[in-house]
Amino acid sequence: MALKRKAEITRSATSKRSEGNCLTGICKPKRTQGLKVNPKKGKYTLVSIKGPGVFLAASVTKQGDSNGLTFVNLHIDGKNVTSLSYAAAQNWGLTQQNPYGIVLLKGGIVDNFTVGFPSPLRFEKELQLSVQVNELNVVQIVGNVVAGSA
């Protein structure tokens, strides 16, 4: 009887510990999306998430002008993590999975700029995904961020 009770206490403590600290994965993952239709040249914040939290991945799709001079910017707690244009990602050969964490996927009229690092990045205050549009005739930009709680 004592053995059974001890096993229940251990199982209960382990369950609470893994829920509270999320030792088995990321707590409460959630996708947040932002959309900008027919953007003119300028800076646009697509997603802003208040911390604390954990960044897992982001994706920014761009439909329209193909010169690639739109920049994707990821800031975590006010620090720049990513600032790269679609054209630069293409020129650098970031067109397949790599340890750097940035991949440009071209799909006809839509280009998809993805960001995801080998390890999750923790943020305390704010995560911000934005674009700097430096080209004409962009039809739409859609940003998605997957983040979890800290």
Q: Looking at residue 89, what DSSP letter applies?
A: H
Residue 22 has pLDDT above 70, yes or no: no
CA–CA gap between residue 139 and residue 136 (Å, rounded): 9
> What is the distance between the alpha carbons of residues 132 and 145, in angstroms, rounded to a whole number?
17
> Is 15 a member of any domain?
no
Asked whether residue 132 is assigned to any structural domain, the reply reads yes
In a domain, 70, yes or no: yes
What's the average model confidence in pLDDT over 51-68? 94
Band of pLDDT at residue 14, cut at 50, 70 and 90: very low
Task: Residue 116: name the closest of 47, 70, 45, 55 by CA.
Answer: 55
- Residue 138 within any structural domain of the chain: yes
Radius of gyration of the chain (CA): 20
pLDDT tens for 66-94 read 789 999 999 999 999 999 999 999 999 99
List pLDDT tens digits, range 114-150.
999 989 999 999 999 999 999 999 999 999 999 999 8
In a domain, 11, yes or no: no
CATH of the domain at 118: 2.60.120.1390
Number of structural domains found in the chain: 1
- Give residue 88's domain range: 25-149
Residue 17 lies in a domain: no
pLDDT of residue 13: 45
pLDDT at 12: 46
Which helix (H) or strand (E) segment is 13 a member of?
Answer: helix 2-21
Question: Does residue 19 lie within any of the structural domains?
Answer: no
Query: Considering the domain boundaries, does residue 14 fall inside one?
Result: no
